[in-house]
Amino acid sequence: MLKYIIKRALWVIPTLLGVLILLFGLTYLMPGDPASAMLGPRATPELVAEINQRMHLDRAMPVRLGYYLAGVVKGDLGTSVWSGHKVSSLLAEALPHTALLALTSLGIAAVIGILLGAFAAVRRNSPIGGCVTIVSLLGVAVPDFVAALLLMLLFCVLVPILPALGAGTPGDPVDILMHLILPATALGIGWVGYLARLTRESMLDVLDSDYIRTSRAFAIPGKTITYRYALKNAVIPSITVIGLGVGKLLGGAVFVEIIFSRPGLGKLIVDSVHARDFPVVQGGILVATLLFVLANLIADISYAFVDPRIQYE
Amino acid sequence: MKKISSLIVLTLFGFLLCMLPSAATAGDQIKIATWEDVNTFDPGWMTSGERELTIMSCLYNGLVKYKEGSWDIVPDLAESWELSPDGKSVTFKLRQNVQFHKGYGEMTAEDVKFSLERIIDPEAKAPEQGTWKLLEKVEVVDNYTVKLVLKDKMANLFTSALPMNGGYIVSKKAVDKMGREVFSKNPIGTGPYQLASWKPKTHVELEAFDGYWGEKPKIKNVKFLPIVEDSTSEIALKTGEIDIGRAGAINVASFKKNKKFAVHSKPALKTYWLGMTVNKPPFDNLELRQAFRYAVNVDNIVEAAFYGTAERANTILPPGLPDHWADAPVYKQDIDKAKSLMKKAGKADGFQVHLFIPGNDAERIMAEVIKADAAKAGIEVIIEVKEIGAFNEAANNGQTDAYIQFYTSTIDPYYIMQYFAGDSWNPSQWRNAEYTDLMEKGASEVDEKKRNQFYVDAQKLNDKDCWAIWLTHGTMVSIAQDNVDIGAIYPNGRLAPWTMNFK
Amino acid sequence: MNTESTQQTEVGCPPGQLMFKRKWTDTLRVTFRAVIKVKGGLWGGIFISIMLICAIGAQWIAPSDPNAQDIMSRFAAPSRDHFFGTDYLGRDIFSRIVYGCRIAVLVAFGTVTFSSVIGVFLGVVSGYNEGKKLDYFIIWLFDIIRSFPQIILALGIVAVLGPSLFNVVIALAFTAFPFYGRIARAQTLSVKQADYVKAAEAMGLKPFQIIMRHITPNIMAPVIVCLGMDMATMIVWESGLSFLGLGVRPPEASWGIMLRNGYKYMQTSPWMLLWPALAISLAMIAFSLFSEGLRVALDPKERER
């Protein structure tokens, strides 16, 4: 298994190299020139030339790729065309907002989803089962950005009780939490149903398994069996799915952050796409990808620990 | 295992809460929505008269300024001035004991010389060069006296050169020390506010400058929030998250009825037009351009995009400016005329037009109406939405067939009209020697009447060559919470934050 | 959910069931019949049929031209003239929703066709050449693309290509094909051990023929299950990209664009937001019920439960 883990971890290196090349290729092909985006209606050819030179835009493609790779290795992602700030510092400012949002929504979804799923499995023919079906259908039917819009319509326009803008005053936890409620709900709603269904199914499997039957035979109280033994095992697939779902969360965060004007990673990327701020787009996608790759790596490795049936190629 | 993981999650959560930077206490703070973030704080290199000028006017002073709420010229950093008899030099007496922000010392004649000469320096290629084309040099007479030497009489000196961003005085010491690049993000002026922090795409925060020479602003802290969507601004107004914002044209009426808000609406000094690229088919043909002009219904376009809050435009200059061409023809939709013009041009069966627009709401709605109108005359309009940078590039390089653009104006007509006599920012690729000549003459003519005639003639040339269909001059709407005294507003809707207060 | 491990455990090729040689059409017919037998699958099928009918027959079903403007009656509330009300240019929202089906269906089928054809082809080639350089190269390619959060990569690609329906399809297909590739490769690894493949090899058939005739038809079951769910995802993402202004061009009636307009005018006329949201939700439910049906139909273990 150790061999598998090392192999899996080493595989990340060529993959990331490919990611960097693809990213570079994307921005290389990006239409228009950043200088005119930067200078707006007052661009002069000299200013444009100056910017092109500073960003190595006047060099040949392989040279630029070289500059880019060398920069990334040194942790230098360039400077924003728009603001002149370091891309790395922009990302450092945006990332906590996104992480907080993703973590909150995932946390809430995991608690609600797993409990709901467990209940539904224990009381097989109770209304809770139907509840899970409805919630999971809702989660599938209402994509995160639609949920965000509907929540905004409900709680900011029709009954304006929750804030709609930004991430709250820094240093004021209550305000920050108030600003988290709607975006986190929008982002988490799809996960509640999904995790509930997953937990229910694996819980059903576990409850039917031999060792649970055996413990029943030993007259261990039903609740202990359910929640101490069965749930513990039934949660495993959910945990791995959560790890792998980071990509989906980051994607959903793009929309939710745009709608609620949260200054997170997703908003940074979309704003920069609109402003054609190449270096920030590149850096933003790179960081999102790094997070995703890392989450995948952890999920794969933990899965290897948890489920010995997995095959190691 | 579950306990451990929930512990980890909780710690992470708390850690993240703490990681968010702690900020200044709000207290005496006013929050103003702007529609986009700023590019630069350097007045000589300003990129947008809409987004950046309000902020710069808080940071800097010029020798003279527009009196708050009007276009009257009043002294600012200069206490008095004297025009030489030949009109080719002006001597300014400067105010004494004016301090720059953040300990950059007293403002002297050297700073004035530096601020203006850095713009006319041919090496620096400042975008404001056009405005100051007729400035020869600046002479320092003594510490508090400075003399502007002109190449010729300069008609726009007091109207759009000195009181605008191109006339703002920056700290020589600061620019020398930081370099222009760093300075543009760390502005040092003499204005009532200094820059506290700038988080790109999130906020620009200004704080009152304790050493300000004039009347101190009543509100200590001004925060500008770039909010791109009108609807976001509306919601933020309603949830009380911003103090001053805007609304989509359709919702202005409902805000007017709402007692919790005060709506301030002014005709904006800008011009939207539907331009046609004249150096390639199909619009290299004058008759087809005219046909297009008859095919579209300008009233309808303006109504659709501005919901009755803006008037249609008939020429490039907004009404109210002295050089506005009041008798400009008002073209009504006339499909038959359009069709007969097309027949004359040999395109009776219609033709295709690629219409380029930036992604803003107003332009998008206009384009959709234009598409429907033009279809009636058999012209197929294909809308190409570009983000603003790509749009400007395509338009300025003449890659469009047609485009919708707007430029902002000052009270001096030269400012907006000279673009169409030059090579850059002339998206229709229109060249007219007569027009260029008129622009040159107008720049150095100080006789109001004669000058007036030059610009009206120039506007007639626009009409004759039909490279643009003038749409509207827009409106500038600011909506304030009822506890906000919005202070003075310039006639084009620009705010003066240092005059604001809470009731 | 585009997670490899869940797909494989959920979908998994049922041993013995599909391991014998089958024709394309057989697989499709059997599958479809089985889906209809599942309760949810039937409803999903009905919904999808309605969408398809709307998409094909939009010009007959929609009461008016989706782009016909009437500035005088804009922001009208739902009424007999306009079932769903009108938008900011006085266009009939019901007609636009109906025409929106066309874009949704085009995107769903377009992306899924592109990505599954390319993905399955590469996956089978890779699986057939297991352990060779080509195999590693293809896996590497898959892994690079799978490293990106999908929608963020699609966003970047559309930013490069420019917003249009075709480019959205290309971008989404580009981000999705490795997932089909992985499934196809894993399936190929087991199928190629089957006797009939060995027999075909012994008969001296060329690798291309073996791939096309003997392997591909027999690995389609899990791919088809994946297709159903993927179509739903693609509809959502098209709407999302259009919502961000990076999707289809504005006059066209895409649900995403309509959502965006609804968002802009949500205070004036909330129904402008609700109708496209409802349309997207219905499409989601339809496709997920249908794909759930597919999953159950193709998995004998599930059918017993």
Give domain status of residue B157, yes or no: yes
Lowest mean pLDDT among A110-119, A225-234, B38-47, B252-261: A225-234
Share of chain A above pLDDT 70, in %: 89
Residue B355, pLDDT score: 94
The answer to whether the CB atoms of C1 and A245 lie below 8 A apart is yes
Task: Give the pLDDT score at C8.
Answer: 36
The CATH number of the domain where B128 resides is what?
A: 3.90.76.10
- Quick check: is B327 in a domain? yes
- Does residue B170 share a domain with residue B275? no
**Closest Cα in chain A, distance from residue B21 (Å):** 6
Do B339 and B454 sit in the same domain of this protein? yes
Domain assignment present for residue B108? The answer is yes
Res. B17 pLDDT band, cuts 50 70 90: low
- Name chain A contacts of B16, Cβ cutoff 8 Å: 96, 99-100, 103
pLDDT at residue B115 greater than cutoff 80: yes
Residue percentage of chain C with pLDDT more than 70: 87
pLDDT tens for each residue of B221-242: 999 998 877 888 888 888 888 9
Q: Is residue B322 part of a domain?
A: yes
Give the residue-averaged pLDDT of C266-280: 88
Provide the pLDDT for residue B287.
92
Tell me what the mean pLDDT of segment B151-163 comes to. Answer: 86
CATH code of the domain containing B335 = 3.10.105.10
Chain B residues inside the 8 Å CB shell of A171: 20-23
pLDDT of residue C4: 37
**pLDDT band at residue C12, thresholds of 50, 70 and 90?**
very low
Average pLDDT over residues B392-413: 85
Average pLDDT rounded to a whole number, residues A70-88: 81
B173 and B278 belong to one structural domain: no
User: Is residue B368 a part of any domain in this protein?
Assistant: yes
Model confidence at B253, pLDDT cuts 50, 70, 90, reads confident
B405-452, pLDDT tens digit by residue? 988 888 888 888 888 887 767 888 898 889 988 988 888 888 888 888
Identify all chain C residues contacting A296, using CB atoms and an 8 Å cutoff.
147
At C7 the pLDDT is 36
State which amino acid sits at residue C38. V
- Residue B402 confidence (pLDDT) above 50: yes
Is the Cβ pair A15, C6 closer than 8 Å?
no
Length of chain C counted residue by residue:
305
Q: Are residues B282 and B421 in the same domain?
A: yes
Higher local confidence (pLDDT), A229 or C141: C141
What would the pLDDT profile of C136-187 be if each residue is shown by its tens digit?
999 999 999 999 999 999 999 988 888 888 999 999 999 999 999 999 998 8
Q: Give the residue from B214, B224, B259, B266 showing the smallest Cα distance to B245.
A: B224
Are B329 and B461 members of one domain? Answer: yes
How do B351-358 and B402-408 pair as beta strands?
Answer: parallel
- Of C230, C236, C105, C250, nearest to C164 by C-alpha is C250
The answer to whether B414 and B443 are in contact (CB under 8 A) is yes
**DSSP states of B272-335 as a string?**
EEEEE-TTSTTTTSHHHHHHHHHHS-HHHHHHHHHTTSS-B-SSSSPBTBTT--TT---PPP-H
Give the per-residue pLDDT at C22.
53
Q: How confident is the model at residue C107 (pLDDT cuts 50, 70, 90)?
A: very high
pLDDT at B21 over 60: no
The string of pLDDT tens digits covering residues B319-335 is 888 889 988 999 999 99
Residue C301: Cβ within 10 Å count: 10
Residue B499 has pLDDT above 80, yes or no: yes
Residue B175 sits in the same domain as residue B314? no
Using a CB-CB cut-off of 8 Å, the residues of chain A touching C263 are: 149, 259
pLDDT at B18 (0 to 100): 52
Q: B210 — phi, psi (to 5°)? A: -60, -35
In a domain, B284, yes or no: yes
pLDDT tens digits, one per residue of B357-373? 987 778 888 998 999 99
Residue at C261: amino acid letter: N
pLDDT tens by residue, A246-289: 888 888 999 999 999 888 999 999 988 877 777 888 899 999 99
For residue A255, which of A177, A182, A155 has the smallest C-alpha distance? A182
User: Residue C83: is its pLDDT beyond 80?
Assistant: yes
- Please compute the mean of the pLDDT values over residues C116-126 and round it to a whole number: 93
Q: Mean pLDDT in chain A? A: 81
Percent above pLDDT 90 for chain A: 16
pLDDT confidence of C255, banded at 50, 70, 90?
Answer: very high
Residue A124 has pLDDT above 80, yes or no: no
Mean pLDDT calculated for residue range C292-304: 67
pLDDT of residue B4: 57
Instruction: Give me the residues of C, 150-179, that contact A with CB < 8 A.
Output: 150-153, 155-157, 159-160, 162
Q: Can you tell me the mean pLDDT for C226-243?
A: 89
- B171 and B303 inside one domain: no
Residue B213 included in any domain: no
Q: Give the CA distances from residue B443 to residues A104, B130, B131, B137, B157, in Å, rounded to whole numbers and listed in that order.
A: 61, 10, 9, 18, 10
C156 contacts in chain A (CB < 8 Å)? 23, 26, 273, 281, 285
Q: Are B174 and B70 contained in the same domain?
A: yes
- Domain stop point among B135, B154, B180: B180
Q: State mean pLDDT over B337-349.
A: 91
Per-residue exposure over A212-221, b if at least 16 CB sit within 10 Å of its own CB, e if not = beebeeeeee
Q: Note down the domain range covering B405.
A: 270-473
Q: Is the pLDDT of residue B107 over 90?
A: yes
Choose the closest CB to C1 out of A157, A158, A241. A241
Does B304 share its domain with B403?
A: yes
Within-domain flag for B27 = no
A31 pLDDT tier (thresholds 50, 70, 90): low
The count of domains in chain B is 2
Which chain B residues in 197-236 lie under 8 Å from chain A, judged by CB atoms?
198-202, 225, 227, 232, 235-236
> Distance between CA A39 and CA A47 in Å, rounded?
8
